[in-house]
Amino acid sequence: MSGTSLDGVDAALIRTDGAQIHEFGRSGYRPYTEAERRVLKAALGRWPDDGKSPGLEEALEVVQRAHAELLAEFPEAELVGFHGQTLAHEPHGRGTHQFGDGAVLAEALNRDVVWDFRSADVALGGEGAPLAPFYHFACARKMGAEAPVAFLNLGGVGNLTWVDPRKPAPEAPGALLAFDTGPANAPINDLVGERLGLDCDRDGALAAQGAVVDGALELFLEEGFFRRMPPKSLDRDDFSLMLDLVRELSDADAAATMTAMAAAAVMQGMEHCPIPPEKLLVTGGGRHNPVMMAMLQAGLDCPVVPVEDAGLDGDMLEAQAFGFLAVRVAQGWPTSGPSTTGVAAPVGGGQVSRVGSLVV
C-alpha cells in the first residue's frame, strides 16, 4: 500500500481465506526518498491518457521500483495485493487512476499479483473508495466485537467505516457504512512542507503551539461535500482551499486550524452512523497526532482509541486490507457494495496478473 500521504510503501503478510483473518504476519516499510516524493507529487492529478507527458514515466518507475524492492523481502507470500499509487480520483468524471502495472510486478516477483482494485466499482457507478471496509468487517470479527464499532483511517484523506459485526457477511444489508469524511493529513503535510520544509507536523508539535481560528473553520465546513449523503469519496487535493483559508495565519495557528478542520470533518461524518458505535478505532498516521486525537475525543460521545487497543496494527491495516482483498478477488467474492461505495450491487474489483502472462 502506498497512500496519499506519499511517505512510502507498506507491506504486510496476512493469512486469510478472504472471509476470516487467521493470522497476522510480519510487515515492512520502504520510505520514499525526498527526490522520489517530489517526482510523485509532480505526477498527482495525472490520468492514463496524459500519455508520455514529462515526469509520468519517471513516476511510474518510482512506484514500480519501490514496491518491487519491498515485496522482494516477502518471498513466502503466495499472492500479492498491489494497490498502486493514486494519482487522480474523479469517480463521476474521468474515473480513478491508481498508478502501477501489476503484470510487470508479477514478472519481477515471480508471483501472481492482484491489482486495479477500484476501476470495476467506478465503472458500475460506485465511488471506488474506500475499499478497506470489507477488511474492517473481518477485523471487527477478529477482535470479538459484539456491537457496532467504527474504524477511522486518518491518512492523507480521512475515511470512516461503521461496522455491525453481528451481520453474516460484509455485503449483507446493514453490515457496513463507509465513506470519506474529508481531508486529514495531506493538507497539513502540504502546509508544513511549503512553509517549513517538513514532511509532516510530527506528533502535532506545531498545532499544539497554535490556536484554532473559528472563522476559517466555519468557512471550511460550508464546503458542499459535507452536505452530501454517504457513500462519498475524495481526491487528495479536493480541499486545496484549506491552504487558502489559513494563508494569512501564523504557522502554528494554521496547523492548529487545519487539524481542527480534519477533526470537525470526522465529527460531521459520525452523524451518519446508523447507531452510535461502541468505540472509534483510529488507524493511519493521524492517530500519532495527540492534538487531533484530543479534538476528536472532545467532540465525540464514544471512546476514541488507536486500533492497537484492539490488538491491530494501525500502521499496516491498509496494507493488510489489500492482501485480504486480493484473496477475495481470487475467490471471486465482492470487495465493495452499495453501503461502502454506492455501487448498485456488491461487486468484486481487481485484475489478476499471473506469472508469465505479461505480453511485451
Q: For each of the domains in the chain, give its residue range(s) and CATH number, in order of start.
A: 8-128+316-353 (3.30.420.40), 144-310 (3.30.420.40)
What backbone torsions phi and psi does residue 230 show, to the nearest 5 degrees?
-75, 165
Mean pLDDT of 146-165: 95
Q: How far apart are CA 38 and CA 58, in angstroms?
A: 11
pLDDT at 240 > cutoff 90: no
- Evaluate if residue 196 carries a pLDDT over 70: yes
Average pLDDT over residues 170-182: 96
pLDDT at residue 262 greater than cutoff 50: yes
Q: What value does the mean pLDDT of the chain take? A: 93
80: its cell numbers = 500479492
pLDDT at 53: 66
Per-residue pLDDT tens over the stretch 270-282 = 999 999 999 999 9
Q: Give me the mean pLDDT over the 155-167 stretch.
A: 95
The answer to whether 269 and 220 are in contact (CB under 8 A) is no
315, three cell numbers: 500502521
Distance CA 221, CA 238 (A): 14
Q: Which of 41-55, 121-135, 253-267 has the lowest mean pLDDT?
A: 41-55
Q: Which of 30-44, 45-59, 163-177 has the highest mean pLDDT?
A: 163-177
- pLDDT tens column, 284-316: 889 999 999 999 999 999 999 999 999 999 999
Residue written as grid cell 507527458: 53
Percent over 90 (pLDDT), the chain? 81
Q: Does 35 have pLDDT greater than 50?
A: yes
State the SS3 of the chain.
Answer: CECCCCCEEEEEEEEECCCCEEEEEEEEEEECCHHHHHHHHHHCCCCHHHCCCCCHHHHHHHHHHHHHHHHCCCCCCCCEEECCEEEEEECCCCEEEEECCHHHHHHHHCCCEEECCCHHHHHCCCCCCCCCHHHHHHHHHHCCCCCCEEEEEECCEEEEEEECCCCCCCCCCCCEEEEEEEECHHHHHHHHHHHHCCCCCHHHHHHHCCCCCHHHHHHHHCCHHHHCCCCCCCCCCCCCHHHHHCCCCCHHHHHHHHHHHHHHHHHHHHCCCCCCCCCEEEECHHHHCHHHHHHHHHHCCCCEEEHHHHCCCCCCHHHHHHHHHHHHHHHCCCCECHHHHCCCCCECCCEEECCCCCCC
| Distance in angstroms (rounded) separating the CA atoms of residues 302 and 177 | 17
The letter for the amino acid at 73 is E
The pLDDT of 231-243, averaged and rounded, is 80
Confidence label for 216 from pLDDT (cuts 50, 70 and 90) = very high
Cα separation, 279 vs 312, in Å, equals 14
pLDDT at residue 356 in the model: 75
Closest CA to 252 of 291, 287, 295, 223: 291
Of 115-119, 194-198, 245-249, 355-359, the range with the lowest mean pLDDT is 355-359
358 band by pLDDT with thresholds 50, 70 and 90: low
Binning pLDDT at 50, 70 and 90, where does residue 183 land? very high
Mean pLDDT of 61-71: 96
pLDDT computed for residue 360 by the predictor: 41
pLDDT of residue 299: 97
Query: What confidence tier does 354 reach under pLDDT thresholds 50, 70, 90?
Result: very high
- What was the pLDDT predicted at 176? 98
For the chain, first and last CA: distance in Å?
A: 26
Instruction: Identify the pLDDT of residue 359.
Output: 46
- What are the residues facing 82 on neighbouring strands? 115
Taking the model in full, what pTM does it have?
0.92
CA atoms within 13 A on the CB side of 225: 20
pLDDT for the residue 32: 95
Residue 11 has pLDDT above 70, yes or no: yes
- Give the residue with greater pLDDT, 4 vs 168: 168
Q: Which amino acid is at 17?
A: D
pLDDT in tens, 98-150: 889 999 999 999 999 999 999 999 999 999 988 999 999 999 999 999 999 99
95: left (phi over 0), alpha (psi -120 to 50) or beta: left
pLDDT confidence of residue 351: 93
